[in-house]
Amino acid sequence: MSNVARAVHLLAACAAVATCGVPFAAPDSSVKVGSWGGPHVAMTVTPERTDIEFDCGRASVDGAIPLDRDDAFTATGTFLQERPGPTRPEGPPRRPMRLTGGVKDDTMTMRVTLTDQDEDVGTFILASGGDARLVKCK
């Protein structure tokens, strides 16, 4: 057998066993697309963006929110605080935030932290397809 033929056979064997000794792992998934809701929070997930509405704020994450093999996530985005009453024309500044949590079946636990001052916004429980129960501060 020629060296070229041996190389082709070796590559074919590696491909069949999944990348030469590295076990094949399914790609990580993302948070399920659609509406999620719960007390004080509403979330709309698309493959391109996640929008979240709170009682007194809004947030967004660009791209899908990835889940690891344990269905946990960490994602970054921006948060916009809402307040009752008049606002300035330029409005409040957007602040950087981090979402952490996990998904089990159709239930999500999500913690929101504003990272510029390590401020905890809260922990929220959402259900896929669940109703949001917002008490807007406006």
Q: Give the CATH number, domain containing residue 38.
A: 2.40.128
Question: What are the pLDDT digits (tens) for 76-131?
Answer: 999 999 887 777 777 788 999 999 999 999 999 999 999 999 999 999 999 999 99
Neighbours of 32 (CB within 10 A): 15
In a domain, 2, yes or no: no
In a domain, 8, yes or no: no
pLDDT band at residue 137 using 50, 70 and 90 as cut-offs? confident
In a domain, 12, yes or no: no
In a domain, 21, yes or no: no
In a domain, 71, yes or no: yes
Percent of the chain whose pLDDT exceeds 90: 67
In a domain, 133, yes or no: no
In a domain, 51, yes or no: yes
Domains: count for the chain? 1
Full-model pTM: 0.76
| pLDDT reported for residue 77 | 98
- The answer for residues whose C-beta is within 8 angstroms of residue 86's C-beta and 6 or more apart is none
Residue 109 φ then ψ, to 5°: -110, 125
Q: What is the DSSP letter of 118?
A: T
Domain that holds residue 91: 27-128
In a domain, 14, yes or no: no
